[in-house]
Amino acid sequence: MPEATTNSRTTRAGQHRYVAPLEETPLQSVDAVSKESDGSSLWKDAFRSLIREPLFIISALLILLIAVVVALPALFTSADPTFCTLDNSLADPRAGHPLGFNQQGCDIYARVIYGARASVMVGAFTTIAVVILGGIVGAIAGFYGGWLDALLSRIIDIFFAIPFILAAIVLLQLFRGSISAWHIVAVLAAFGWTQIARITRGAVISTKNSDFVTASTAVGATPLKNLIRHVLPNSIAPVIVTATVSLGIYIVAEATLSYLGLGLPTSIVSWGADIASAQTLLRTNPEALFFPAAALAVTVLSFIMMGDAVRDALDPKARTR
């Protein structure tokens, strides 16, 4: 490129040596973000990769289906799950009763459909309670640090060290005979919040020293405003992932308590109680155990898969591959 070379050799007034000419590119086209293009964020990127992920699509569709079953069970069956007569005890499937009957003569299919509500509601409300309680404690411990962190961390250690299912059994003795769904939610949350608290604390600690928080402090934001406006929104990702997975785990925990005889009262249709009562029939009528157990496993699986897919999408290390 001879012309370019000669052109750039031209010296300006007052210059004795060669100086490269100024960059002619207008600043806007380099630094400015075009207003037409969509902004990008962690969540937008994650969502873009999620909608191409089969695992996420399958789990999302399943959760949607489960939500419909929970909200409107009557759409899926016209049989009454609490209508049980011993005439039907262990009867074979017939028209209108596709899965047959259990020992008490209740329609298994109807009980599987109506049992979804109790199990999923306990899981969902426990998760909400755990996220609120654990989130607040973890955020305060991580953000303020110092003696407050030391104190809260020891309290978390104490609750964490007691085996979860054991604490639930002891606490539920207090309500023995009159256990309601709210008791189970309260007991599961009382000993389940520590995991979320630890994760929130870790995430808040790693976020609070970011440059954008320092910048916000520099323009006069109070610590509380920093915490709510800047630190928490940027620490929420791992909490959401853990919460999604633990929703499934709490459904399992509720069923386990039912097995131990400390679950929901028999007047409420629930998978846990149905599985536990079908235990003795395993040899002759495995379907009485299989269907509620399968429904529970598929529900739990959808939430775990969803959490897994979201975790992968939010992890920049996993995304490059």
Partner 1 sequence: MLRYTSRRVLQMIPVLLGTTLLIYAMVFAMPGDPVAALFGEKPINENVADQIRAEYNLDEPFIIQYLLFVKGLFVGDFGITFTGQPVIDVITRVFPTTIKLASMALVFEMVFGIIIGVIAGIRQGKLFDSTVLMLSLVIIAIPTFVLGFVGQFVFGIELGWFPATARDASFISLLMPALVLAGVSLAYVIRLTRTSIVENLTADHVRTARAKGLSEGRVTTVHVLRNSLIPVVTFLGADLGTLMGGAIVTENIFAVDGVGSALYDAILRSEGTTVVSIVTLLVIVYILANLLVDLLYAVLDPRIRYA
Q: Can residue 57 be called a binding residue for partner 1 (CB under 8 A)? A: no
Residues 101, 285: Cα–Cα separation, whole Å: 10
Nearer to partner 1, 8 or 279 (CB): 279
Q: Which of 234, 247, 252, 236 has its CA nearest to residue 307?
A: 247
CB of 320 to partner 1, least distance (A): 10
**94 strand-pairing partners:** 97
Q: ∠ CA 108-111-113 to the nearest 5 degrees? A: 110
Q: Can residue 61 be called a binding residue for partner 1 (CB under 8 A)? A: no
> Would you state the structure tokens that stand for residue 106, as one six-digit string?
């209740």
Among positions 29, 154, 218, 267, the unique one binding partner 1 when judged by CB under 8 A: 154
Q: Dump the DSSP string for 202-248.
A: HHHHHHHTSHHHHHHHHTT--HHHIIIIIIHHHHHHHHHHHHHHHHH
Q: Dump the DSSP string for 79-112.
A: S-TT---GGGTTPPPBTTBTT-B-TT--BHHHHH
Compose the 157-176 pattern: x for residues touching partner 1 by CB under 8 A, - for all others: xxx-xxxxxxx-xxx-xx-x
Token pair 């969502």 is found at 47
CB of 318 to partner 1, least distance (A): 9
Among positions 63, 118, 227, 300, the unique one binding partner 1 when judged by CB under 8 A: 300
For residue 197, give the amino acid letter.
Answer: A
Residues 9, 294: Cα–Cα separation, whole Å: 79
CB of 181 to partner 1, least distance (A): 18
> Would you state the structure tokens that stand for residue 75, as one six-digit string?
């759409």
Q: Which of residues 231-290 bind partner 1 (CB under 8 A)?
A: 248, 252, 255-256, 259-260, 272, 275-276, 279, 282-283, 289
Q: Which of residues 76-105 bind partner 1 (CB under 8 A)?
A: none
Nearer to partner 1, 55 or 86 (CB): 55
CB of 176 to partner 1, least distance (A): 7
Nearer to partner 1, 169 or 240 (CB): 169
Kindly list the residues in this chain that would bind partner 1 in the complex (CB under 8 A).
Answer: 154-155, 157-159, 161-167, 169-171, 173-174, 176, 248, 252, 255-256, 259-260, 272, 275-276, 279, 282-283, 289, 293, 296-298, 300-301, 304-305, 308, 317
